[in-house]
Amino acid sequence: MPDLSSRDIKFLPGVGPQKAALLNKELNIFSCEDLLFYYPYKYIDRSRTYKICEIDGNMPYIQLRGFITSFETIGEGRGRRLTALFTDGTGTIELVWFKGIKFIIEKYKLQTEYTVFGKPNVFGSKLNIAHPEIDPIEAIDKSPGLQPYYNTTEKMKTHFLNSKAMQKIMYNLWQTIPEALSETLPAWIIARAQVIYKNEALRNIHFPQSPDILRKAQFRLKFEELFYLQLNILRFTKLQQRKLGGFRFEIIGDIFNRFYHECLPFELTNAQKRVLREIRADVGSGKQMNRLLQGDVGSGKTLVALMSMLMAVDNGFQACLMAPTEILATQHFETINKLVKPLGLQVDLLTGSTKKKERELIHNRLLTGDTHITIGTHALIEDTVNFSNLGLAVIDEQHRFGVAQRAKLWKKNNKPPHVLVMTATPIPRTLAMTVYGDLDVSVIDELPPGRKPIQTIHQYDNRRGALYASMRKQIEQGRQIYIVYPLIQESERSDLKNLEDGFKHIQEAFPEYEVCMVHGKMKPVEKEVEMKKFISGQAHIMVATTVIEVGVNVPNASVMIIENAERFGLSQLHQLRGRVGRGADQSYCILMTSHKLSEDTRKRLEIMVRTNDGFEISEADLQLRGPGDMDGTQQSGIAFDLKIANIAKDGQILQLARDIATEVLEKDPELILTEHHILKLQLQKIFKKKFNWSLIS
Ligand code: ADP
Ligand code: MG
């Protein structure tokens, strides 16, 4: 095969030094291989011509054939536009231009047959197409099949490197590589996955002859992309597991059993039991556990964490639980300390505001092994903290911790401790597989009994009177209320003012009740005082920013009001909502917005009102925002620079890719078989520049 990766594009017919420089700069395309892997972003089916009477508002780009019957220029100045009536005898559609009016009028003639190409829109009963592509009939008939469209930048367009020009360059490129391109998957995988050959796939991704072969080409290329991603992630996990091994927790001992029989205030849910069995199997296996525990807010993850830590303690190891905020760490500490009191264990709390003297004592107890369980924040992973024998580290609400921080915990021992990562942001399975391919996943998919589903209501700002009346009713029944304001870094100052105004306003509206306020800019001590007011029930209403998002548990709080709900993402709204509905009472979540909302926002709010299911919400979030924006993926270190696969949509292909990658590694963990030589080469090629984060987790 010709080595396309070392052939400079500037020598291609139709490219030359100037265009090559543009392609370098704008699209990062240097070699013929880079160019070949620059796929079209859409295709237009020119094999079919529609009739105007068939058009509805939901169609993609379509092709019509007919005549322009009139032109009309409407409006003045910047609002000026050109419209043309276009008919094919079955109906009439309006063509609209906002730019290049003079050019269009001169170029296109009345009573001449054209093909018109574009996306139809419906306004009331009228149809139109804005900035259509228009060609004389003869020009079109020569290019049947699907027409590829390539993304180009503004700068490229001004230098005449538009999609059409890219198409031509691709064609020229293809002419220079007449020999078959070599295959990049072993024959048995091609057969198993039922994909077409690489050569055929590449040709048809650029020049598809039919929608059917295009689908096959896309399937092949998506599969390959996801397959190598999975192979890479899984390879390091398997290697690491074999190399490092883990502590074996031989027994379920006295401490665990006494806790289970004497201290547990309620029956475990079946889901909690199942997950504990999964963890038990891991920590007893001699391999290091790396497990992600997903469970919706309020599903009882803390208890699972605690009981896992007791397994460690029973086997003579220390355990720690790391939380993302001080408030949360403190709350965990209090809950856990109370629960294990009868067992006589030493439980310590280590956070940024632990006093120096106390801190030294704790550091010392950790070293001597006198501390059994440590709960804390980032303070736990500081270099000055050393354990005598850390056997299990639990990380709560993982999306605030990056992979690098996880890795720091590993190094606190000669052997890495078992790791349990807990998250209430349910990551869709497909995403978890890609981002945390190295973690096994457990799910708590059942809430403790007796919870009533939270009712969610979307309300407009101008209905505050009614809202206050129902708030009052709730407080009279002894309930407490959260009011949350957005606080976003860039507009911090005005947001803070917004929050403080809201606080004053609520104080004035509810003079007979106590209102407290918490936000991230407060000193920890102040925050603590205000939080305590609410937790103890002294304050009836808490006005806060999203600092209360994570983990805070006040079962008596039954109403969550979210101001400017349009400014929050779906997952965040769901997290906030999870702060209520923890007791036996009916709880409510009120999403406040103004009337002016974008389409996307409306969709988000509708989803929130419709469902309480965290997984459904997170799937929807993934669909609406794309994986790059998902909470947690940014810090996770994986670059979502997939060329063709889409994590949100290609779940089935991902699963297939993962299954086959697993099969490969079970058969040949180090990829030394001759038939797998190709895999090794491809991995080296694909991942040579990327930092391999799998190595450290
Ligand atoms: P999360 O999964 O959001 O961290 P928590 O662990 O904070 O949830 O648990 C939420 C509440 O449910 C706590 O008050 C906890 O005591 C309670 N809880 C946990 N497990 C059970 C159970 N099996 N039965 C009843 N209540 C439970
Ligand atoms: Mg929690």
Determine the pLDDT at residue 496.
78
> Smallest Cα–Cα separation from 71: which of 118, 110, 100?
110
Question: Tens digits of per-residue pLDDT, 512-554?
Answer: 999 999 887 888 788 888 888 998 899 999 999 876 655 567 8
**For the chain, domain boundaries:** 48-143, 455-611
> What distance in angstroms lies between residue 393's CA and the mean position of ligand 1's atoms?
20
Count of CB atoms situated within 10 Å of the CB of 461: 12
With 90 as the cut, is the pLDDT of residue 3 above it? no
Give the pairing type, strands 126-130 and 92-97: parallel
pLDDT given at position 103: 86
**pLDDT per position as a tens digit, 225-257:** 999 988 988 887 666 666 667 899 999 999 999
Neighbours of 452 (CB within 10 A): 12
Beta bridge partners of 42: 149
CA 269 – ligand 1 centroid, Å: 10
Stretch 640-650: mean pLDDT: 75
Residue 302 CA, closest ligand 1 atom number? 6
The ligand 1 atom nearest the CA atom of 267: 23
Atom 25, ligand 1: residue with shortest CA distance: 448
240 lines ligand 1 (CB under 6 A): no
Ligand having the closest approach to the CA of 266: 1
For 172-181, 501-510, 654-663, which range has the lowest pLDDT when averaged over its residues? Answer: 172-181
Whether 331 lines ligand 1, by a CB cut-off of 6 Å, is: no
CA angle 279, 285, 291 (to 5 degrees): 35
The response to whether residue 582 sits with its C-beta less than 6 Å from ligand 1 reads yes
**pLDDT tens by residue, 8-21:** 999 999 899 999 99
* Centroid of ligand 2 to alpha carbon of 298 (angstroms): 7
User: What kind of fold does domain 48-143 have according to CATH?
Assistant: OB fold (Dihydrolipoamide Acetyltransferase, E2P) (2.40.50)
Instruction: Band the pLDDT of 631: cuts 50, 70, 90.
Output: very low
116-125, 146-155, 550-559, 687-696: range with highest mean pLDDT = 146-155
- How many angstroms is it from 373 CA to the middle of ligand 1? 20
Over residues 40-46, the mean pLDDT reads: 81
Q: Indicate which atom in ligand 1 lies nearest the CA of residue 268.
A: 23
The tokens of 250 are what?
């031989």
pLDDT (tens digit per residue) in 550-603: 556 788 999 999 999 998 888 889 888 988 987 778 999 999 998 888 888 898
More confident residue, 588 or 384: 588
299 lines ligand 1 (CB under 6 A): yes
Nearest ligand for residue 584 CA: 1
Among the atoms of ligand 1, which is closest to the Cα of residue 555?
14
| pLDDT of 15 | 93
> Which of 302, 332, 420, 445 is the pocket-test mutation for ligand 1 (most atoms within 8 Å of CB)?
302
Provide the CA 20 distance to its chain's centre, in angstroms: 35
Amino acid residing at 232:
N
CA–centroid distance, 302 to ligand 2, in Å, is 6
CA 335 to ligand 1: nearest atom: 16
Pair of tokens at residue 468: 């206050």
**Mean pLDDT score, 672-682:** 93
Q: Is 294 in the pocket of ligand 1 (CB under 6 A)?
A: no
**Ligand 1 atom with least separation from CA of 578:** 3
- pLDDT for residue 86: 95
CB–CB of 65/95 below 8 Å? no
Kindly report the pTM of this predicted structure.
0.63
pLDDT band at 279 (very low <50, low <70, confident <90, very high): very high
Question: Does ligand 1 have an atom closer than 6 angstroms to the CB of 553?
Answer: yes
Determine if ligand 1 sits within 6 Å of the CB of residue 268.
Answer: yes
Q: Tens digits of per-residue pLDDT, 189-225?
A: 999 999 999 999 999 999 998 888 999 999 999 999 9
Per-residue pLDDT averaged across 22-31, rounded? Answer: 93
Q: Flag the least confident range among 604-618, 640-654, 682-696.
A: 682-696
**Mean pLDDT computed over every residue of the chain:** 86
Buried b (16+ CB within 10 A) or exposed e, 416-431: bbbbbbbbbbbbbbbb
- Structure confidence at residue 489 (pLDDT): 56
Closest residue by CA, ligand 1 atom 13: 300
Model pLDDT for residues 70-95, shown as the tens digit of each residue: 999 988 877 788 999 999 999 999 99
Q: When comparing pLDDT for 75 and 622, which is higher?
A: 75
Whether residue 634 has pLDDT greater than 50: no
Percent of the chain topping pLDDT 70? 87
Structure confidence at residue 95 (pLDDT): 95
pLDDT at residue 497 tops 90: no
**14 Cβ partners below 8 Å, 6+ apart?**
168, 169, 172
614 lines ligand 1 (CB under 6 A): no
The third-level CATH classification (topology) of the domain covering 455-611 is: Rossmann fold (3.40.50)
Look at residue 693 in the predicted model and tell me its pLDDT.
37
- Contact 328 CB / ligand 1 (< 6 Å): no
Identical fold, 48-143 and 455-611? no
Nearest residue to 265 (alpha-carbon basis) of 205, 342, 202 = 342
Cβ of 301 less than 6 Å from ligand 1: yes
